[in-house]
Amino acid sequence: MASKNSLEKALLIMLILIGSAIFLSLAAAAAPKWPIPDGVKTMEVNGYDMAYQETGSGVPLILIHGAVNDYRTWALQVPELSKTYRTIPVSLRHCYPEKWNGLGDDCSVTQHVSDVAALIRSMNLGKVHLLGHSRGGEVALNVARLHPETIRTLILEDANMENLLPKTPETQRREAAIKGFREYLRGILAAGDAEKAAKVFVDAVNGPGTWDKLPPERRITPVDNIGTAMESAERPKVSCVDIQKFNFPILLLIGERSPKHNGIMIEAIRQCKPEILAPLIVPNGTHLMHRDNPEFFNKSVLDFLKKH
CA distance 142 to 151: 11
Structural element, H or E, at residue 281:
strand 280-282
Predicted pLDDT of residue 7? 59
Q: How many domains does the chain have?
A: 1
> What stretches in the chain show pLDDT beneath 50?
1-2, 15-29
In a domain, 28, yes or no: no
Predicted pLDDT of residue 22? 41
In a domain, 202, yes or no: no
Report the Cα 291 to chain-centroid distance in Å: 16
Give the CATH number, domain containing residue 131.
Answer: 3.40.50.1820
Taking all residues of the chain, what is their mean pLDDT, rounded to a whole number? 90
In a domain, 251, yes or no: yes
In a domain, 206, yes or no: no
In a domain, 120, yes or no: yes
pTM: 0.88
Instruction: Find, among 21, 20, 44, the residue nearest to 32 by Cα.
Output: 44
CA distance 173 to 132: 26
Reported as a single tens digit per residue, the pLDDT across 151-195 is 999 999 999 998 898 888 888 888 888 889 988 998 998 899 999
In a domain, 8, yes or no: no
In a domain, 272, yes or no: yes
CA distance 179 to 39: 37
Predicted pLDDT of residue 20? 45
Reported as a single tens digit per residue, the pLDDT across 255-297 is 999 999 999 999 999 999 999 999 999 999 999 999 999 999 9
Range of the domain at 100: 41-165+235-306
Predicted pLDDT of residue 16? 47
Q: Which residues pair with 243 in a beta bridge?
A: none
Task: State percent of the chain over pLDDT 70.
Answer: 90
In a domain, 228, yes or no: no
Predicted pLDDT of residue 32? 67
